[in-house]
Amino acid sequence: MSSQRSRTGASAARVDLRRVRSRLPGPTAELIAAYERHLELERGLSAHTVRAYLGDVVSLAGFLHGTDHSTDHEAPENEEAEPGTAQPWAAPPGAVGGTGGSGAGQAETGPEDLRPPEGGTENLARAFEGLDIGVLRAWLARQRADGASRTTLARRAAAARAFSTWAHKAGAIDHDPATRLVAPRAHRTLPGVLRPDQAGELLRASASGAAENSPIALRDLAVLELLYATGVRVAELCGLDVADVDFERRLVRVLGKGGKERMVPFGVPAADAVRAWLAEGRGPVITRAERRAGGEALFLGVRGGRLDQRSVRRVVHDAVSSVPGAADMGPHGLRHSAATHLLEGGADLRSVQELLGHATLATTQLYTHVTVERLKAIHDRTHPRAR
């Protein structure tokens, strides 16, 4: 079977996880809702990460209880739903622990909701009764047969291990079967990165457009300069407030994954671009409503509200497309480019890890693969004994 046919088969076999969750036995649905609150409140994970974890856990629960026979309506994997819409794995409005609909229930969630579901240990024991290493392996095997990639299988195995460990500690299962679960190692690849000269060309072209003092052009230049200068994630950029920028020390305060705060330096070109946006561009864009609300967002959309991630991606794609020979990329590509250029310029891994906000050094080490390949290419081209 060709890879194209495999992908088609995987698409056809996608399960409507929202329907699966609605059909789960009460104790199982309650335990999953408790796990959702644990991810949000205790671990402080991002909404996107919580969605991914919950989707995999619901899939596992549906496989265990045989409620995963529906095969339509699921959004493409890793695709973020529009704001205000129910997620494909979310419980229907009104269901136990559901986050579908308006999401108002989340705002009322407090630490007391982290308690186990009603009914105590006896109720918990029925939630995932029968979950063992054989079930976990069979679940992954079916995903593989449906065309799931190695990366997807590795992610789902990790989600299952995290849930199994938590469920064991909560008393829902008497042992942790996922400790023996082994999944294929994911192929961790980096997207294309810009060469330093391409990055410079991209920013010069954006600066040329901003020279006309169009508010949006000034904003776009500031966005591109700050993304490349700091390597921040797109969500971190969109979450910045005006007060987070320290022009005197050229530092920006970033709130990263898990609510972790870090200070990231930026250079003179980024400082000049952000200053120009604040002085000449932001005022005409901000709305009266935003002013009354405090108007704290650093970057604004065309309607005056806080700039969203989709708009930033469009800005980056449009800017990169104007650079001949550059690989198509979004904000994460600029982040990779910044990290690669820092390492090629002599920065040490630990410093780059701190700048990027990586939890482990292993993630940062991915960037060394790019620099080593370039070093080998230079060696092959220039050393007299390379060939």
Q: Give the pLDDT of residue 372.
A: 64
Reported pTM: 0.60
Domain of 329?
196-382
Looking at 180, 214, 248, the residue that finishes a domain is 180
**212 with 307, same domain?**
yes
Q: Give the pLDDT of residue 4.
A: 41
- Give the model's confidence band at 240: pLDDT under 50 very low, under 70 low, under 90 confident, else very high: very high
Q: CA 193 to CA 329: how far, in whole Å?
A: 8
Read off the pLDDT of residues 343-352 as tens digits, 9 standing for 90 and up: 888 888 888 8
**252 with 319, same domain?**
yes
Give the residue, 188 or 301, on which the prediction is more confident. 301
- Is there a contact between 218 and 224 (Cβ–Cβ < 8 Å)? no
Q: Is the dihedral of CA 90, 93, 98, 102 positive or negative?
A: positive
| pLDDT beyond 50 at 93 | no
**111 with 209, same domain?**
no
Q: Give the pLDDT of residue 325.
A: 87
**221 with 333, same domain?**
yes
Residue 387 domain-assigned?
Answer: no
245-246 and 261-265 beta bridge pairing: unpaired
Looking at 146, 180, 214, the residue that finishes a domain is 180
Residue 188 domain-assigned?
Answer: no
Read off the pLDDT of residues 348-386 as tens digits, 9 standing for 90 and up: 888 888 888 887 777 777 776 666 666 666 667 777 776
- Is there a contact between 143 and 154 (Cβ–Cβ < 8 Å)? no
Give the residue, 99 or 276, on which the prediction is more confident. 276
Strand-pairing partners, residue 114, are none
**305 with 242, same domain?**
yes
Q: Give the pLDDT of residue 374.
A: 62
| pLDDT beyond 90 at 387 | no
Read off the pLDDT of residues 129-178 as tens digits, 9 standing for 90 and up: 788 888 899 999 998 888 888 888 888 888 999 999 998 888 878 888 88
Residue 246 domain-assigned?
Answer: yes
Please give the mean pLDDT across all residues of the chain.
77
Residue 190 domain-assigned?
Answer: no
**Kind and range of the H or E run holding 55:** helix 47-65
- Please give the structure tokens belonging to residue 46: 């991002």
**317 with 255, same domain?**
yes
| pLDDT beyond 50 at 331 | yes
**What CATH code is carried by the domain that includes residue 361?**
1.10.443.10
Q: Is the dihedral of CA 135, 138, 144, 147 positive or negative?
A: negative
- Please give the structure tokens belonging to residue 235: 């969500």
Catalytic residue positions?
Answer: 233, 257, 332, 335, 358, 367
| pLDDT beyond 60 at 2 | no
Phi–psi pair at 297, nearest 5 degrees: -60, 135
Residue 241 domain-assigned?
Answer: yes
Looking at 133, 156, 180, the residue that finishes a domain is 180
Residue 191 domain-assigned?
Answer: no
- Give the model's confidence band at 13: pLDDT under 50 very low, under 70 low, under 90 confident, else very high: very low
Read off the pLDDT of residues 319-329 as tens digits, 9 standing for 90 and up: 999 898 888 88
**229 with 371, same domain?**
yes
Count of structural domains, the chain = 2
CA dihedral 347, 349, 354, 358 (to 10 degrees): 140
| Among 184-198, 237-251, 272-286, 303-317, the least confident range | 184-198
Angle at 382 between CA 378 and CA 387, to 5 degrees: 100
**202 with 137, same domain?**
no
Strands, sheet with 245-246, edge to edge from the N-terminal-most edge strand:
245-246, 251-255, 261-265
- Is there a contact between 304 and 215 (Cβ–Cβ < 8 Å)? no
- Give the model's confidence band at 254: pLDDT under 50 very low, under 70 low, under 90 confident, else very high: very high
**113 with 202, same domain?**
no
**255 with 203, same domain?**
yes
Q: Give the pLDDT of residue 228.
A: 94
**147 with 14, same domain?**
yes
| pLDDT beyond 50 at 7 | no
Q: Give the pLDDT of residue 354.
A: 84
Residue 303 domain-assigned?
Answer: yes
Q: Which stretches of 147-248 are DSSP H helices?
A: 150-170, 196-210, 215-230, 234-238
Short-list 2, 17, 6, 52, CA closest to 146: 6
Read off the pLDDT of residues 189-236 as tens digits, 9 standing for 90 and up: 666 789 999 999 999 999 988 888 899 999 999 999 999 999 999 999
**224 with 335, same domain?**
yes
Give the residue, 282 or 14, on which the prediction is more confident. 282
CB count, 10 Å around CB of 127? 28
Give buried/exposed letters for 169-199 (b at 16+ CB in 10 A, else e): ebebbeebbbeebebeeeeeeeeebbbeebb
Give the residue, 288 or 170, on which the prediction is more confident. 170
Residue 222 domain-assigned?
Answer: yes
Short-list 242, 245, 306, CA closest to 270: 245
* Most confident region among 20-24, 58-62, 64-68, 97-101 by mean pLDDT: 58-62
